Structure 1
Amino acid sequence: MRRPALYSSSRPAGGARAPVTGHDLPLPLVAPPEPVAATAAARPRGWRRFVPGQMAMMWSTIFVLALALAAMFALNGPQRRLTQDDINAAVLKTMETQVMPSEYARAYDNIRPSVVRVVSYVKKSRLKDEEAKQVAKTPSAKNPKATKPIATESAAADDEVEAGVGTGVVIIDKGVILTNLHVVSGADRIEVIFHDGLKSAASIRGVQAENDLAVLQAAKIPDDMIAATMRSTNDLAPGDKVLAVGFPFGIGPSASGGVVSGLGRVFKSPEGKQEMKNLIQFDAAANPGNSGGPLVTMDGEVVGIVTAILNPTSARTFLGIGFAVPIENAATAAGLPPF
């Protein structure tokens, strides 16, 4: 059995001194190493000694930077808060240096996407039939001229003739359009042309004969259809600026500016067949073709539908007095609630 190792003291028993051998020679005195923890505590990481010249240079740099920062703050100072005078001055400067659109231009831009051209067509064959009936009612002359045979009705496009051109305004973005009744009355076909050039057939959805109004429904509408904004006439007053937009003599869309000349006016048609009341009188230029177009404020909001002009001569052109049906009446014709 293996004997366990035994450890004894360096001195033999009995106090006798053991003989000295080469292995027992005393070792030279060596200073003990510094404890690692103490050294780390004494010298932080990244620490290095600076010579006096380097220390002076460092403090000089810090002093110069401090002076630079102080000068910067002294020159700039704390930020001043904007006042109303500053804002007014900036607005005036912008108005002096930038060309701003006029009130009429802004109103036109707002209403333009909602204005449509309205064209009514009748068949030539029907016109000839009516003409023949009229001739039949006329007393025969001594030597009556022979009449040409009446052509039979044809479905071809060349059988149609343009009967009238007017204006309309979209009041519901589903393609509901307001115009004048006399623009579409007696038409065999109605076509509307939107602001983007889209052409669509339209049908009469309702009429308000006493105010010469008709409500149309377009079969197709643009993807970005925008309906006009309607505004009550309760706060409308003579002198207020207004804009009439339409297709006078088929030219357009055209815009003409003016003011409200009066309210609650009465107009009687030249034929004396109809009298309309509670109309808006305005002096913005309007001619045949403007019928059914919007009368708008400087905000581009519709306050009336242009319906007639006053001209006692046979020319039937604008002399400075136009009339529009208040939008409250027009909205009622479309089945919309009053303001």
Structure 2
Amino acid sequence: MSYDGDTVLVTGGASFIGSHLVEELVARGADVRVADDFSSGERSNLDGVADNVEILEGNLKHWDFADEASEGIDRLFHLAADHGGRGYISNYPANCATNMALDNIVFETAVENGVEKITFASSACTYPTDIQQERQRLAEDMVSFEERGGAYADEAYGWAKLMGERSLQAFHDQHGVDASSVRIFTAYGPRENETHAIVALIAKAFAGQDPYQIWGDGEQTRNFTYVDDIVSALVLANEKITDATPVNAGIREYISINDVAEAIFEYMDWEPEEINHMTDKPVGVRHRAADTTRAEELLGWEPKYSLDDGMAETIDWYVENRDEGYIRENLETLLHER
């Protein structure tokens, strides 16, 4: 689909996923505006399209800035959030809880400014944690606001994302705005920071950490999904879903942390003498993978990148863009601070 003539706002557009989305929208001909406070996103992430986008810097929890950001906008992709990997969301729950205020201000100002379509970047953390101890693929209807006890999200971050979905549904119901929510499952790729699992594991290998530290026993699984596939799901949801129906964006495979580490060692041609499994570290749920049936039916979406292909892209980017001495010296801070 061409976006020629459309004005599109991407909140959090300098972030890891946001910057890849901005590049895709520019390539499709959209007039793109980015709103970001640069607390975690980097201006350099937008270097490839800087001449083709409008960049506004400010805090979207402030009404006036959110109002300015969505003025004259046709489509909104709302990715801005206080977030990070497992270490961050476990250590900073209050920070993550502020996303509830952020989301509502962004939605309300957007609706008042006549934005026609809103797509919300939600998370697999919206799913009940107690059903993720055994291997069962997560389907969207496993979260329910209609049944007592139908929601049991993953930490404050997951609850905030779930409330963001519920809030967007309410704006659709009351104001008729076209809306969609995409539940993102364990995204990875170039520009991601070291608080997230795959880049954290790459950083440790790049710095030559030995003993090499793996949080937990390493047998916990995730469905690592390459960023280009996530961007594709966001764009398709904005085009095809109007009633705020949530949809998963993730792969169906269960991939263990130990398997990822071994793949990194092989690709980087390096291996530690010892691996230390740190069972005192936060690891989240035991198993997580997506049921993608709804995405296939509503969006015609399925992931295109294998783990090997995505890992190669990510490792090559990391090695080319990071300083080994700096990573070695600051590794522990990088793993916890976004």
**TM-score range, shorter-chain basis?**
under 0.3
Higher helix proportion (structure 1 or 2): 2
Q: Select the structure with the greater relative contact order (CA < 8 A; seq sep ≥ 6).
A: 2
- What is the TM-score with the length of structure 1 in the denominator? 0.23
- What is the TM-score with the length of structure 2 in the denominator? 0.23
Higher strand proportion (structure 1 or 2): 1
